[in-house]
Amino acid sequence: MQELYIAREVATGATSQEIATRLFLSPRTIEAHLRNIFRKLGITSRRQLRDHPSLTSES
């Protein structure tokens, strides 16, 4: 659930620092989650995450 939230926030343009503040986590923890998300989705960038169909087709 947390990775999905982070993925959606990044897809809307939020920075790691902004997400970390909202979740009371460190920006490094957010970056670690992003690495896991990228690996699972087979992508390498925030731009690819923003355009990923699994995030744009759901509301």
pLDDT digits (tens, 9 = 90+) for 5-57: 999 999 999 999 999 999 999 999 999 999 999 999 999 999 999 988 877 65
Q: How open is the CA angle 43-47-53, to the nearest 5 degrees?
A: 65
Rounded to two decimals, the pTM is 0.85
Number of CB atoms found within 10 A of residue 6's CB: 25
What span, in angstroms and rounded, lies between the C-alpha atoms of 59 and 31?
Answer: 24
Q: Which two tokens stand for residue 21?
A: 């503040």
| Cβ(33)–Cβ(14) below 8 Å | no
Q: Which two tokens stand for residue 20?
A: 């970390």
